[in-house]
Chain A
Amino acid sequence: MARVSFDHVSKHFGTVRAVDDVSFDIVDGEFICLLGPSGCGKTTTLRLMAGLEQPTSGRITVDDHDVTFAKPKERDVGMVFQDYALFPHMTIAENIAYPLKVRGTAGKDRDARTLDVARSLGIEHLLERRPGQISGGQQQRTSVARAVVHKPKVFLFDEPLSNLDAKLRIEARSFLKHLQVELGVTALYVTHDQAEAMALADRIAVMEGGRVVQMGPPLDVYRKPLTTFVASFLGNPPMNLVPVRLRLDGASARLEAEGLEVDLSAMRARLAEQFRDGAGLTLGVRPEHLRLVPDVGAATLTGTVYTVEPLGPETLITCTVDGQLVTARLFGDEPPDLGHTAHFRIDESHLELFDESGVRVVR
């Protein structure tokens, strides 16, 4: 258990800024997900924490101890690698016991602790096998066992679920979350899967181009994305982003695009402070906040049905609106037919606005 702090940490590889001035604090026992597309610097950030890379500048502390340039073995971390990195020439028992062995734990304690951890992870029957003889899911558990066996202060995960098939992944996800809560260990988890991050994290740090763009509890980041990048990265399908023009006249304010008109007169004063009439903005709305309405009268958005995807509990309707694809998530409604016109109403309390540079407009 530990508090971790990144203080203006940067890591450059030649001219590439893999991690660019990243700062955040992790409180004791917190589960943090670093989320972003490949090349965003999330894995490098994790490796900086593990001591596998050294920062170009900045400071990393664990419980107020400076570990910026400490070797991995001086940090007391446990790490689960994407490929699990189990040692092929060792048995599962030897793999799990390895951190204890290099720490000089006595043989008897080592065996007892190994068995203990293996039992809690449900792999005690595999101890004599080798990594090549067990399944992917079992390898993943072995890898987790090896990471926790010496009771590390910080738990590090580098996309540990990406090599599992879809069904196992969800199972392993619940299992990891349960384990982390049970152990109460501070965890830093890297993933490019937003659903994984949403499900696991106490807080998500969304990264782009080596920087942390937004950090906060999953639902906050989901509901109030700070930029269009975050908005388009979280959620499946992601937030709809439609370019619109702002119309300010008299006492009214409207957002306009072809097939779309939203009345924002209630916040005219705020908008008029920041923007001029005719300003180009981006409207953001989550698929679940579009409601199918029967006729154009009540509609704020009208489009032609492009695809209909029934997923069981919900149906995704994608329409073309002014050349853009807009997706709505419907529960129970009878979906419109392909090629027909569909009318939607946008729930205004869940509508987000982004300015020209893609930054969220505070309302």
Chain B
Amino acid sequence: MRLLRLVVTRAAFYAAAALFACFFAVPLVWLLFAPFDARANLAVRLPHPFTLANFGKVFANAFAVRALFQNSIIQAGGAMLLVTLLATLAAYALSRAPIRGKDMLSYGLVLFSSIVTGTAAMVPLFLLIYSLGLIDTQLGVILVFTGGLLPAAIFIMRDFVDSIPRSYEESALVSGASAWGMFRDIALPIVRPGMMVVAVWTFVNVWGGFFVPFILLRSPANMPASVAIYSFYTEGGTPIITLTTAYSLLYTIPVLALYLFVNWRYGFRFFGGIKS
């Protein structure tokens, strides 16, 4: 009797877990299969008939290709470099400088950051970018994303910078290093895992961001992939599933590649601390 109960509860547990896993896995499986299916619809099924023609049509769309392999890369990459660089320097300054209430400042900034990239701030942001003459420029998009993501990035970086003992830096100074040399030789290598986390996180955020480029950009030549995907919709506004999925699959590859590269090269850690 007890054995039966054990078996039943186990079975029920695995059934529930499988159902739960399916909920997340099915859309991914669909995204993997549908692009290769000549007659794809919303059902998950093995591609039949199997085809690569969908990708052919996607690559024939010069606007979408340019959006994915040029504009998205420029915008996400640009924001990634800017955020990572600025967040590292700012976190370093916040960690080391004797500023009163700097913890409150950090927390405050994080709260603000969620507002800046939010919909509510779009009108003032639009006006700001307009008066700066940066409407319909990639730089405008990069700056807005940088401003929005920087506070949280600084917050993440601070944990990494705080974990470096002061004596490391002092030891470098006494060894004869300049302030910049100390930062480059000691602090930077130690916080590099943190910089990688911030870089990938920023890239993913901008890569998937739709609203900001949609509002700030005008000409098709500047649109990123998140906006350009609408070129695979019919004029009636319904998505052409074969093409949107093919494009979406291509759309995920750079992010996956970046993540795998960083993980292989540096390893991911979401906390500070010295790995010796």
Contact = CB atoms under 8 A, between A and B. Distances in A.
B177 interface: yes
Interface in A71-119: 71-73, 77-79, 81-83, 85, 87-89, 98-99, 102-103
- Give the interface centre of B167, B176, B189, B190 by most chain A CB atoms within 10 Å: B176
A78 B165 CA distance: 19
A103 B176 contact: yes
A131 B186 CA distance: 14
A174 to B, nearest CB: 25
Contact of B175 (A52, A83, A146): A146
Among B165, B171, B175, B276, max chain A CB count under 10 A is at: B175
Contacts, number: 68
B185 A50 contact: no
A150 B275 contact: no
A81 B276 contact: no
B123 interface: no
Given A87-B186, A102-B181, A52 B176 contact: no
A246 to B, nearest CB: 51
Interface residues of A, number: 27
Contacts of A85: 165, 167-168, 170-171
B178 interface: yes
B97 to A, nearest CB: 16
Given A85-B168, A98-B185, A52 B276 contact: no
B176 A72 contact: yes
B174 interface: yes
Given A83-B167, A88-B190, A131 B276 contact: yes
A52 B165 contact: no
Interface string B184-209: 01100110000000000000000000
B274 interface: yes
Contacts of B178: 73, 102
Interface residues of B, number: 20
B181, B186, B190, B276 pick with most chain A CB within 10 angstroms: B276
Interface string A162-180: 0000000000000000000
A81 B175 CA distance: 12
Nearest to B178: A73
A310 interface: no
Nearest to A99: B175
A52 B186 CA distance: 17
Contacts of B168: 85, 87
A52 B173 contact: yes
Interface in A26-81: 50-52, 71-73, 77-79, 81
B267 to A, nearest CB: 13
A89 B189 contact: yes
B189 A78 contact: no
A133 interface: yes
Contacts of A99: 175-176
B176 A133 contact: no
B86 interface: no
Contact of A102 (B165, B175, B274): B175
A132 interface: yes
Contact of B167 (A77, A81, A133): A81
Nearest to A131: B276
Contacts of A130: 276
B177 A73 contact: yes
A81 B274 contact: no
Contacts of A132: 275-276
B173 A73 contact: yes
A88 B171 contact: no
A87 B210 CA distance: 43
Contacts of A71: 173
Given A87-B186, A131-B276, A132-B276, A81 B171 contact: yes
A98 to B, nearest CB: 5
Interface in B99-158: none
Nearest to B167: A85
B172 interface: yes
8 contacts: A71-B173, A72-B173, A79-B170, A85-B170, A87-B168, A87-B186, A88-B276, A132-B276
Given A51-B173, A52-B170, 17 more contacts: A52-B174, A71-B173, A72-B174, A72-B176, A73-B173, A73-B176, A78-B175, A79-B171, A79-B174, A81-B170, A85-B165, A87-B168, A87-B185, A87-B186, A89-B190, A131-B276, A150-B176
Interface of A: 50-52, 71-73, 77-79, 81-83, 85, 87-89, 98-99, 102-103, 130-133, 146, 150, 156
The 6 A-B pairs at the shortest CB distance, nearest first, are namely: A132-B276, A85-B171, A85-B167, A99-B175, A88-B276, A72-B173
